[in-house]
């Protein structure tokens, strides 16, 4: 039995402790080391030293970050101490602790990192770490293995441009088996940094994929917002506000400086939000998100009230109604660290929240007064969003209520539905037939073990031209959704809560659309396909939807019948017959005998089913939208281009 006594107490040391628990100094993952090293290069560029940062992923998975700044100090200081040891081998050491000094002694006024643990922490948690500092004539280099110095400081001649190059490979021992920094993480980070550091070019060379990509926005955030915005639906240009202020969170604190850059535009169809602080993306928000929500909601609500645009008794807007049409990026800075932890994903500052909220409200009010046309467009769009959101919420509650229950206890409630015996959804089939008249023949002609039938009551709603509120008031569609059981796929920013689709809950192996071979039948088939494509496109993509091909002709001879599915097939059959025979157009489904329905439409051995494929669905949707949608110009052009074909056919 192990004894717990004085001899059981051990010390990992600082290096061992960091390698054992990187999160203790804020390194939450192997990817996070990239932020720490890149952040130092960005701070140099922001300070005016270098306009380009090169990131390389090597064949072995290691990363290099090369900047063209002043070069990290690595030689001896006036005390005879090597600076590189403080930078790469000592926690809470660095050159950014005086950022808030009044005497101007700071090297980095608004720095991404000030805690002095990033470079050392990355070194400690890497299998391999190398730092090279160039001054244009010579270089200084140092190497570490698993955080321990491997070579002495190297100094030699080099004509490489001034700057710093850091190379490292995160240790799988420290990060739960992960060492290679994810490509997507690098790409996302570099894109974000290019956005908030306008004029700085970020180059990523991936030697493993032999690809090189550049990220560059000359004007930074405004260029990025323009790239996101759909100009056709734009309500405003990109608007920008900037301020610098000074204050403190508590009376006992020392004053610090903040800077806020707010960029935004309004668009009917596009929305986006991103918050940065000292160039770090605030994935978890914090203060900037709070002052944006507060300011925009307050000012827009105020103008709606002043202009009497609210209806009597109407609820006030929420920020969601604004954000639906708002593209906004904030880039804030502070001379002290406001990050709530080393991960730099959230900031908290009472001073910033209060001062920027007051300032931003004033700026927005001035903008609305000075730009009445744009203000009017914004106010009306926010109300449109609000009404759409409220309608979507009412629809969601209504649909949830209507779709409650299971197919078993709904069987007797759904008019026109006849269930099958089996519950094995790898075998069951649901036939969608045209009207009650078809229900009789299909019910008698089916295999009741695995074939169920739903007889439509009249024509189904055209789902291309209807909004979700109208769609979900249609009883046929609601019944269809209930019977399929897999939920719905909703692509609407105002009705996201309606998404409930789960392919695993589909109750059928096949959904078979079965209609008469006439104009009305084709129309109903088209409307059914439209509904499925609009509400459950995955059913088509996964191959669950079929069309039962009904015969056009019944050819009788000697009390025996054969069926032809086209004029060509009819002619071929007749040409091989000897003696008397009769040819007649097939009757509607409701007039067919049970035997005929089984033979031509429901017997897996003899029926003809056409699978609706994704490519076929796309072509079909194109024509749906042309003939059933609101694109009048496309419809007119089609008629102009093709009318002569139909006229010639008619004349023939």
Q: Which sign, positive or negative, has the C-alpha torsion 173, 179, 185, 191? A: positive
| Residue whose structure tokens are 């076929």 | 616
| Residue whose structure tokens are 């978890």 | 284
Out of 75-79, 220-224, 301-305, least confident range: 75-79
pLDDT value for 534: 86
- Comparison of pLDDT for 311 and 11, the residue scoring more: 311
- Comparison of pLDDT for 3 and 480, the residue scoring more: 480
**pLDDT confidence bin for 492, thresholds 50/70/90:** low
pLDDT value for 550: 80
pLDDT value for 496: 64
Residues 355, 347: Cα–Cα separation, whole Å: 15
| pLDDT tops 70 at residue 410 | no
| DSSP-assigned letters across all residues of 341-389 | STT-S-B--HHHHHHHHHHHHHHHHHHHHH-HHHHHHHHHHHHHHHHHH
Residues 119, 129: Cα–Cα separation, whole Å: 10
pLDDT value for 9: 39
The order of strands in the sheet holding 326-334 is 239-247, 256-266, 326-334, 272-277, 280-281
Length of the chain counted residue by residue:
652
- Nearest C-alpha neighbor of 578 from the set 561, 553, 558: 558
Mean pLDDT over all residues of the chain?
85
Mean pLDDT of 461-482: 84
**pLDDT confidence bin for 493, thresholds 50/70/90:** low
- Nearest C-alpha neighbor of 126 from the set 140, 147, 142, 108: 147
- Nearest C-alpha neighbor of 72 from the set 145, 153, 149, 15: 153
Out of 104-113, 128-137, 536-545, least confident range: 104-113
- Comparison of pLDDT for 616 and 299, the residue scoring more: 299
Q: Which residue spans within 520-573 are E strands per DSSP?
A: 545-548, 553-557, 560-564
Residues 537, 531: Cα–Cα separation, whole Å: 9
Residues 155, 142: Cα–Cα separation, whole Å: 9
| pLDDT tops 90 at residue 429 | yes
* Percent of all residues in the chain with a pLDDT value above 70, rounded to a whole number: 87
The CA–CA distances, whole Å, from 563 to 273, 438, 578, 585, 599 equal 62, 19, 17, 10, 10
Residue 586, exposed/middle/buried by CB under 10 A (0-12, 13-18, 19+)?
buried
The CA–CA distances, whole Å, from 438 to 63, 164, 431, 514 equal 68, 79, 11, 9
- Nearest C-alpha neighbor of 579 from the set 596, 599, 556, 554: 556
| pLDDT tops 80 at residue 211 | yes
Mean pLDDT of 348-376: 96
| Residue whose structure tokens are 């050159």 | 95
- Comparison of pLDDT for 620 and 247, the residue scoring more: 247
| pLDDT tops 60 at residue 11 | no
3-state class (DSSP) for residue 331: strand
Mean pLDDT of 455-481: 83
Residues 379, 384: Cα–Cα separation, whole Å: 9
Contact 566, 517 (CB under 8 A): no
Q: Render pLDDT for 313-338 as a digit per residue (tens, 0 to 9).
A: 899 999 999 999 999 999 999 988 88
- Please state the three-class secondary structure of 53-81 as a single string: EEEEECCCCCEEEEECCCCCCCCECCCCC
Q: H-helix or E-strand containing 280?
A: strand 280-281
- pTM, two decimals, is 0.66
| pLDDT tops 80 at residue 414 | yes
- Comparison of pLDDT for 592 and 643, the residue scoring more: 592
Chain centre to alpha carbon of residue 361: 31
Residue 392, exposed/middle/buried by CB under 10 A (0-12, 13-18, 19+)?
buried
Mean pLDDT of 539-559: 88
pLDDT value for 3: 65
**pLDDT confidence bin for 275, thresholds 50/70/90:** very high
pLDDT value for 618: 65
Q: Which sign, positive or negative, has the C-alpha torsion 16, 22, 25, 31? A: positive
Mean pLDDT of 389-413: 69
3-state class (DSSP) for residue 325: coil
Residues 32, 79: Cα–Cα separation, whole Å: 33
pLDDT value for 525: 87
Residues 527, 629: Cα–Cα separation, whole Å: 12
- Nearest C-alpha neighbor of 31 from the set 132, 141, 178: 178
- Kindly state the greatest CA–CA separation across the chain: 118
Q: Render pLDDT for 151-180 as a digit per residue (tens, 0 to 9).
A: 889 999 999 999 999 999 999 999 988 889
Angle of CA points 119, 120, 126, to nearest 5°:
90
Q: Render pLDDT for 70-114 as a digit per residue (tens, 0 to 9).
A: 999 998 888 888 889 888 888 755 444 344 455 544 444 555 544
- Comparison of pLDDT for 379 and 491, the residue scoring more: 379
* Percent of all residues in the chain with a pLDDT value above 90, rounded to a whole number: 47
- Comparison of pLDDT for 206 and 97, the residue scoring more: 206
| pLDDT tops 80 at residue 484 | yes
Tokens of 378: 């914004």
| pLDDT tops 70 at residue 649 | no
- Nearest C-alpha neighbor of 66 from the set 186, 166, 214: 166
């Amino acid at each position: 039995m192990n004894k717990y006594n004085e001899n059981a107490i051990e010390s990992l040391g600082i290096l061992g402790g960091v390698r054992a628990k990187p999160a203790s100094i804020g390194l939450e993952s192997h990817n996070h080391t990239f932020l720490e090293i890149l952040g130092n290069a960005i701070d140099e560029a922001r300070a005016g030293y270098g306009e380009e940062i090169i990131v390389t992923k090597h064949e072995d998975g290691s990363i290099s970050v090369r900047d063209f700044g002043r070069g990290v100090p690595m030689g001896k200081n006036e005390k005879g101490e090597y600076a590189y040891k403080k930078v790469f081998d000592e926690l809470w050491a660095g050159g950014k602790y005086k950022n808030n000094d009044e005497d101007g002694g700071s090297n980095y006024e608004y720095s991404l990192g000030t805690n002095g643990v990033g470079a050392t922490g990355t070194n400690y948690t890497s299998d391999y770490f190398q730092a090279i500092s160039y001054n244009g004539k010579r270089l200084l280099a140092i190497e570490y293995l698993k955080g321990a110095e491997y070579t002495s400081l190297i100094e030699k001649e080099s004509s490489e441009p001034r700057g710093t190059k850091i190379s490292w490979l995160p240790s799988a021992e420290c990060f739960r088996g992960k060492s290679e920094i994810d490509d997507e993480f690098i790409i996302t980070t570099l894109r974000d940094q290019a956005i908030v550091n306008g004029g700085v070019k970020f180059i990523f060379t991936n030697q493993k994929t032999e690809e090189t990509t550049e990220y560059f926005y000359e004007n930074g955030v405004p260029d990025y917002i323009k790239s996101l915005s759909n100009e056709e639906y734009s309500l405003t240009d990109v608007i920008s506000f900037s301020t610098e202020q000074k204050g403190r969170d508590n009376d006992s604190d020392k004053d610090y400086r903040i800077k806020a850059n707010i960029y935004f535009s309004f668009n009917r169809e596009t929305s986006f939000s991103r918050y940065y602080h000292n160039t770090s993306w605030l994935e978890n928000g914090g203060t900037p998100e709070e002052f944006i929500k507060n300011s925009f909601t307050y000012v827009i609500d105020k103008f709606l009230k002043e202009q009497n645009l609210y209806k009597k008794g109407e609820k006030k807007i929420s920020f969601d109604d604004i954000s639906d049409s708002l593209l906004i990026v904030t880039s804030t800075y502070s001379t002290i660290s406001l990050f709530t932890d080393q991960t730099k994903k959230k900031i908290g500052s009472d001073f910033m929240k209060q001062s920027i909220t007051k300032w931003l409200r004033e700026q927005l009010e001035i903008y609305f007064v000075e730009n009445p046309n744009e203000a009017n467009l914004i106010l009306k769009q926010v109300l449109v969003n609000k009404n759409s959101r409220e309608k979507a919420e009412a629809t969601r509650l209504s649909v949830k209520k209507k779709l409650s229950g299971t197919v078993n206890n709904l069987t007797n409630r759904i008019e026109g539905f006849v269930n099958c015996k089996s519950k094995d959804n790898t075998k069951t089939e649901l036939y969608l037939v045209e009207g009650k008249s078809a229900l009789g023949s299909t019910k008698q002609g089916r295999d009741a073990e695995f074939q169920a039938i739903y007889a439509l009551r009249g024509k189904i709603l055209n789902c291309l031209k209807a909004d979700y509120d109208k769609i979900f008031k249609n009883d046929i569609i609601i019944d269809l959704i209930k019977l399929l059981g897999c939920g719905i796929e909703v692509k609407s920013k105002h009705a996201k809560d309606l998404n409930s689709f789960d392919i695993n809950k589909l109750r059928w192996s096949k959904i078979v659309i079965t209609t008469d071979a006439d104009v009305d039948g084709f129309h109903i088939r088209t409307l059914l396909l439209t509904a499925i494509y609009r509400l459950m496109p995955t059913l088509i993509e996964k191959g669950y939807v079929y069309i039962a091909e009904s015969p056009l002709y019944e050819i009788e001879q000697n009390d025996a019948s054969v069926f032809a599915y086209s004029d060509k097939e009819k002619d071929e059959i007749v040409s091989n017959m000897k003696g008397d025979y009769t040819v007649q157009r097939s009757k509607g489904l409701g007039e067919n005998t049970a035997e005929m329905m089984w033979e031509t439409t429901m017997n897996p051995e003899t029926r003809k089913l056409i699978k609706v494929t994704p490519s076929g669905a796309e072509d079909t949707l194109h024509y749906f939208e042309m003939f059933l949608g609101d694109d009048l110009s496309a419809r007119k052009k089609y008629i102009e281009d093709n009318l002569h074909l139909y006229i010639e056919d008619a004349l023939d």
